[in-house]
């Protein structure tokens, strides 16, 4: 994948509104690369700070990010994102509609 792919990922992530989330797979589908969720993850590892990176979660609602996972969760909580008892984002409530 090239820089054009990364730029497409960032453009799609930028459309995820405050208080909503999308999955890596959602973003892959949005940019015309279904099945490439892992590549979206690669792009998100080096995304610009201006991109709302915290709004992208795994398909099961898990928050990823290694050492950054607690920061990501805190940012999502500040946006009012609901979490289930098991710590995953409640995708039924806050997933973007066009995903």
Q: Read off the pLDDT band of 78 (50, 70, 90).
A: very high
Pick the CATH number of 3-94 from 1.10.1040.10, 1.10.10.10, 3.30.2130.30, 3.40.50.150: 1.10.10.10
* Radius of gyration (C-alpha) of the chain in whole angstroms: 12
Give the pLDDT score at 7: 96
pLDDT digits (tens, 9 = 90+) for 19-56: 999 999 999 999 999 999 999 999 999 999 999 999 99
Does residue 2 surpass a pLDDT of 70? Answer: no
Tokens 């992530």 label which residue? 13
What percentage of residues in the chain have a pLDDT greater than 90? 87
The residues spanned by each domain of the chain are: 3-94
Does residue 1 surpass a pLDDT of 60? Answer: no
What is this structure's pTM? 0.92
Tokens 């915290």 label which residue? 54
**Which residues, in sequence order, are CB contacts of 62 under 8 Å at separation 6+?**
87, 88, 89
């Amino acid at each position: 994948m090239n820089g054009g792919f990364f730029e497409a990922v960032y453009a799609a992530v930028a459309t995820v509104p405050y208080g909503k989330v999308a999955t890596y797979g959602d973003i892959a589908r949005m940019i015309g690369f279904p099945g490439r969720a892992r590549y979206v993850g690669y792009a998100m590892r080096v995304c610009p700070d201006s991109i709302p990176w915290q709004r992208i979660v795994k398909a099961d609602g898990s928050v990823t990010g290694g050492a950054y996972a607690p920061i990501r969760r805190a940012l999502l909580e500040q946006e009012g994102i609901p979490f289930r008892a098991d710590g995953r984002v409640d995708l039924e409530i806050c997933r973007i509609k066009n995903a």
